[in-house]
Amino acid sequence: MFKQFTENINSHQIYLLTSLGIFFVFFVVVAVMLIRIRKQHIEHMQGLPLQDTIDPKPLNHA
Amino acid sequence: MQPENFYYDNKIVRNFGIATIVWGIIGMTVGLLVAIQMYAPGANLHNQFTTFGRIRPLHTNAVIFAFVGNAIFMGVYYSLQRLLKARMFSDALSKIHFWGWQLIIVSAVITLPLGLTTSHEYAELEWPIDIAITIIWVVFGINMFGTIFKRRERHLYVAIWFYIATFVTIAVLHIVNSVELPVGAFKSYMVYAGVQDALVQWWYGHNAVAFFLTTPYLGMMYYFLPKMANRPVYSYKLSILHFWALIFIYIWAGPHHLLYTSLPGWAQSLGVAFSIMLIAPSWGGMINGLLTLRGAWDKVRDDVNLKFMVVALTAYGMATFEGPMLSLKQINGIAHFSDWIVAHVHVGALGWNGFLTFAILYWIIPRIYKTELFSKKLASFHFWAGTLGIIFYAVPMYWAGFTQSLMLKEFNPDGMLKYPNFLESTLQILPMHMMRSVGGAIYLLGVIVMGYNLYRTMRQGSLVANEGAQAMPLEPAHTLAKESTFHRTLERRPIQLMVLALITILVGSVIELMPTMTISSNVPTIASVKPYTPLELQGRDIYIREGCSNCHSQTIRPFRSETERYGEYSKAGEFVYDHPFLWGSKRTGPDLARIGGKYGNAWHYNHMMDPRLMSPGSIMPEYSWLLTQKLDTTTTIAKINGMRKLGVPYAAGYENIANQDLDKQAKEIAANLYADKIEVKSDKEIVAIIAYLQRLGTDIKANKTATK
C-alpha cells in the first residue's frame, strides 16, 4: 500500500523535505540547548514539585 | 532575608473540582443518550431539543470544555500556586474566572439544544458566547501571569511552560476560528468559505486537541505524577525537549483531518509529514511519565492514583501512536468518516483525560480536606469500571469502523458496488453500537461512584480554604548573577517564554494557512457555481441548526467506491459560497454532496416526516417539526446583506426583493408536492430544507450539460 503513497508524492516532495529540514534544525537547536544545561540546575528544577513548605499550623478561613 | 508567610487558595481548587465532577457526569450522560440514539432513534424523546444533531455538540462541548476545562483549572490553580510558592494573584479574578466559565457552560447547555450553532466542530457556540469565552480566558491569563510575577521561586518548572503555551495557543486558535459576521443575536456566518474555512476549522480542531486536551494535561502530569510517586520526573531534559518539540510540531498537523478532500495536495502532505513526526515528542512524554515510576512500581499495586496514572499514560501512548498512523493516506482512506475515529478519540478522552483527571481528584480532595479518602474499595471499583468501560467502548467501535468502511468499499465481480444501499452497512454495525453504549454506561457508573466517594470524603473532612505556607522572597533581579545558559535564563522570564512559545506555534500556522488564504490558484473557481437562492440559504441554515453535518458529510473523495456511490468527487470551486463549509467529519448516514435531484421532493418530505417510511430500518431521527414550523423570513435581508459583505455576489438591492424570490420558489415546491398528493403550505421550514437539499451538488452538473 505504500507504493501508492510514494507514487503520488512527486509534486509535493518539496514540502515534505522542507518540513523535515525545519524539524531537523529545530531539533538540533533544542538538543544543543539541552546539552549545555548544568546538572545542578536540572536537579534543582526537577525537585521543584517535591519541595512543599507547609506551615505546620494552617490557618482556616473557610 | 526573612522567610515570608502566605496562604494557598484551596477553595478555588475545590470549586473547580466539584464543577469537574458535576459537569463530567452531565456531559457523559448526554453522551450515553446520543450513543443510544445511534440504534434507537426514538431515544430522541420525539423532541427537537434532544435530537442527535443538536445534543451531540452538547456532549462534546460538555466533556471537553466543562469536564476537562474545569479539571484543567483545578489542576493549574493547585499546582501553579505551589510551584511558584505564591497565592493566586487575585481572589476576585479567580472567582470571576470560575463563575464566568460556569456561566459560559450554562449558556452552551441552553443554546445548543435550541439549535444556535456555528456548525464548526468543538467551536459550535455562537458569537456572543465566543466573546464571553475570550474575556474569561483573558481573566485566566491575567490571574496566571499575575501569580507568576509575584512568585517566590525564580525558575519556572516545566509544568508552567505547558500552562503558558496552553494559554497563548488557545487564545490564538479561538480568535482565528471565531472570525464570524453576526447577522442576528445568535446567528453568524464564518468569514472564511469552503476550503479555507475547512482548513481553519481543522487547524483549530486538531490543535484544540493539542492545546486543550494535551498540553495542560502534560503540565499536570509533570507536577502530579512526581508528587504521587514521591520522586522527581525521570528526565527533566527530556521534558524540555518534549515541550518544545510538541508545541512546534503539533500545530502543523491539522490538515490530516482533510485528506482526499479538495484541500490543496501540498497542505495535505505537509499535515501528514508533521503528524508522523509527532510520534517522537508524544512518546518522549509518555516514556518520561512511565519511567518516573522506576523503582516505584510496587506502589502501583496499592495506590489507586498511580493505577489511574499508568492507564492514562498508556492510553496517551496508544492514542498518539494511532493518530500518526491514521494520518497516513491509505489508512485514513479507510478510517476517516467511520467509527474508527470515534474509537480513537475516546481512547484519548476516556483514558488519557478521564483517568488523569480522576487520579488528580482522588489525590487533591483528601489533601485539601485534611482527611483520608472515604473508601479505597470504591476507588478501586471505579478504576476497574473505567478500564472495562473503555475496552467495551473502544473495541466495538474499532470493529464497527472496519466493518462499515470495508462494506462501503466492496465491489462485486461485475464491478458494481456490493452494498449499493448505505443502510445495509448501518444495520450491520448496530450490535456494535449497542455494546458501545454498554461500555459508556459502565464508564459513567464509575464516575458516579467517584462522585459519591469524593462527596463522602469532603463530608468527613473540613476544607482548609487557606493553607499556610512559608518561603523566602525572591532577591531582586538586578542582584542576580548572569545565568549560564540561554534556557536557564528563559526559565526565569515568563513573558519571553510566552513570546517564544507563540512564535513557535505561529511558524507552522502561518506557513500552512497563508497560501490557501491568499493564493487564488489554490481554490480554482467554477463558472457554473452560483450563490444560493434566498430559500436555499434559509434551508441551509436549518441544516446547520439541526446539526445535519454531525452525521452527513458533504465532500466526496476521489475513490471509485465513492464516485460510484455518490457521484463526481468534490472540487474546491464548488464551495466558494459556503460560509461556513459543511463537509462534516463522520458518515453515520451517506454523503449528501450530490443529493440534489437524486430523489423527488415528495421523497424528502416523507423521509423528514419519518425516515423509516422511505428507508425501513433507518436510524435517522424524524424531523416532523419541520413540517409544522413556519420559516422565519424576517432574517432574509440581514442574511443576504451579510453574505454580500463576505463576498457572495448578490446584486445591490437584491435583499429587498429576496423574499419575493423566496416565496416564488417555495410555492413551486409546494405545488410540486401537491402533485404528489402532499398538502403543505409554502411557508413551512420543510420547503426550505427541500430546496437546499435539491440544490446540493447540482451546479457542477449544470456545468457538464453546458460543456457537452
pLDDT digits (tens, 9 = 90+) for B218-240: 999 999 999 999 999 999 999 99
Question: Is the pLDDT at A58 greater than 50, yes or no?
Answer: no
Count of residues making up chain A: 62
List the single best residue of A35, A36, A46 to mutate versus B (max B Cβ within 10 A). A46
pLDDT value of residue B566: 96
Does residue B398 contact residue B334 with C-beta atoms inside 8 Å? no
- State the pLDDT confidence band at A4, using cuts at 50, 70 and 90: very low
Q: Which of B543, B528, B551 is nearest to B693 (CA)?
A: B543
| Smallest Cα distance from B365 to chain A, Å | 15
Amino acid sitting at position B392: F
Query: CB A23 to CB B464 under 8 A?
Result: no
Lowest mean pLDDT among A35-39, B11-15, B463-467, B510-514: B510-514
- State the pLDDT confidence band at A17, using cuts at 50, 70 and 90: confident
pLDDT value of residue B266: 83
- State the pLDDT confidence band at B484, using cuts at 50, 70 and 90: low
pLDDT digits (tens, 9 = 90+) for B530-561: 999 999 999 999 999 999 999 999 999 999 99
Residue with cell 495557543: B169
Burial of A25: CB neighbours in 10 Å, binned 0-12, 13-18, 19+ = exposed
Of A19, A30, A49, the CB nearest to B274: A19
- State the pLDDT confidence band at A55, using cuts at 50, 70 and 90: very low
Mean pLDDT for chain B? Answer: 94
Of A38, A44, A49, the CB nearest to B226: A49
Query: CB B85 to CB A5 under 8 A?
Result: no
Beta strands B180-184 and B4-9 are unpaired
Burial B333-359 (b: 16+ CB within 10 A, else e): bbbbbbbbbbbbbbbbbbbbbbbbbbb
Query: CB A49 to CB B232 under 8 A?
Result: yes
Does residue B126 contact residue B186 with C-beta atoms inside 8 Å? yes
pLDDT value of residue B526: 85
pLDDT digits (tens, 9 = 90+) for B265-292: 888 888 998 899 899 999 999 999 999 9
Q: Which residues of A touch B159 (CB under 8 A)?
A: 49
pLDDT value of residue B2: 87
- State the pLDDT confidence band at A8, using cuts at 50, 70 and 90: low
Of B223, B270, B464, the CB nearest to A49: B223
Query: CB B265 to CB A44 under 8 A?
Result: no
Q: Which residues of A touch B470 (CB under 8 A)?
A: 53, 55
CA-to-CA dists, residue B634 to B187, B518, B662, angstroms: 13, 35, 12
Q: Which residues of B touch A37 (CB under 8 A)?
A: 237, 240, 485, 487-488
Q: Mean pLDDT, to the nearest integer, of B117-134?
A: 96
CA–CA gap between residue A52 and residue B386 (Å, rounded) = 32
- State the pLDDT confidence band at A30, using cuts at 50, 70 and 90: confident
Q: Which residues of A touch B265 (CB under 8 A)?
A: 11-12
- In 3-state terms, what secondary structure has residue B422? helix
pLDDT value of residue B326: 96
- State the pLDDT confidence band at A52, using cuts at 50, 70 and 90: low
Strand-pairing partners, residue B470, are B5
Burial B533-555 (b: 16+ CB within 10 A, else e): bbbbbbbbbbbbbbbbbbbbbbb
Q: Name every residue in A having a CB less than 8 A away from some CB of B.
A: 1-2, 4-5, 8-9, 11-12, 15-16, 19-20, 22-23, 26-27, 30-31, 33-34, 36-38, 41-42, 44-50, 52-55, 57-62
Q: Which residues of B touch A54 (CB under 8 A)?
A: 467-469
Query: CB B269 to CB A59 under 8 A?
Result: no
pLDDT value of residue B633: 96
- State the pLDDT confidence band at B522, using cuts at 50, 70 and 90: low
Question: Is the pLDDT at A2 greater than 60, yes or no?
Answer: no
Question: Is the pLDDT at B434 greater than 90, yes or no?
Answer: yes
Q: What is the domain partition of chain B in residue ranges?
A: 8-475+482-511, 534-707
CB atoms within 10 A of CB B500: 16
Q: Which of B560, B589, B563, B553 is nearest to B696 (CA)?
A: B553
Question: Is the pLDDT at A53 greater than 70, yes or no?
Answer: no
Residue of B nearest to A54 (CA): B469
Tell whether domain B8-475+482-511 is in CATH 3.40.50.300.
no
pLDDT value of residue A60: 47
pLDDT value of residue B134: 97
pLDDT digits (tens, 9 = 90+) for B439-458: 999 999 999 999 999 999 99
pLDDT value of residue A10: 57
Ramachandran quadrant class, B695 (left: phi over 0; alpha: psi -120 to 50; beta: rest): alpha
Question: Is the pLDDT at B296 greater than 90, yes or no?
Answer: no
CB atoms within 10 A of CB B403: 16
Q: Mean pLDDT, to the nearest integer, of B123-142?
A: 97
CATH superfamily, domain at B534-707: Cytochrome c-like domain (1.10.760.10)
| Smallest Cα distance from B230 to chain A, Å | 7
Q: What share of chain A is helix, strand, coil (3-state, %, to 5)?
A: 75, 0, 25
Q: Which residues of B touch A2 (CB under 8 A)?
A: 330
CA–CA gap between residue B689 and residue A54 (Å, rounded) = 64
Query: CB A12 to CB B465 under 8 A?
Result: no
Whether residue B257 is annotated as binding a ligand: the answer is: yes
List the single best residue of B81, B84, B163, B237 to mutate versus A (max A Cβ within 10 A). B237
- State the pLDDT confidence band at B492, using cuts at 50, 70 and 90: confident
CA–CA gap between residue B222 and residue B228 (Å, rounded) = 11
Q: Mean pLDDT, to the nearest integer, of B489-511?
A: 86
Whether residue B336 is annotated as binding a ligand: the answer is: no
Q: Which residues of B touch A53 (CB under 8 A)?
A: 85, 469-471
Burial of B598: CB neighbours in 10 Å, binned 0-12, 13-18, 19+ = middle
pLDDT digits (tens, 9 = 90+) for B64-93: 999 999 999 999 999 999 999 999 999 999
Q: Which helix (H) or strand (E) holds B179?
A: none
pLDDT value of residue B708: 41
Question: Is the pLDDT at B704 greater than 70, yes or no?
Answer: no
Q: Mean pLDDT, to the nearest integer, of B661-685?
A: 96
Question: Is the pLDDT at B622 greater than 60, yes or no?
Answer: yes
CA–CA gap between residue B327 and residue B338 (Å, rounded) = 14
As for the ipTM of the complex, it is 0.72
Residues above pLDDT 70, as percent of chain B = 97
pLDDT value of residue A9: 53
- Three cell numbers written together for B577: 459560497
List the single best residue of A4, A19, A54 to mutate versus B (max B Cβ within 10 A). A19
Q: Mean pLDDT, to the nearest integer, of B356-385?
A: 97
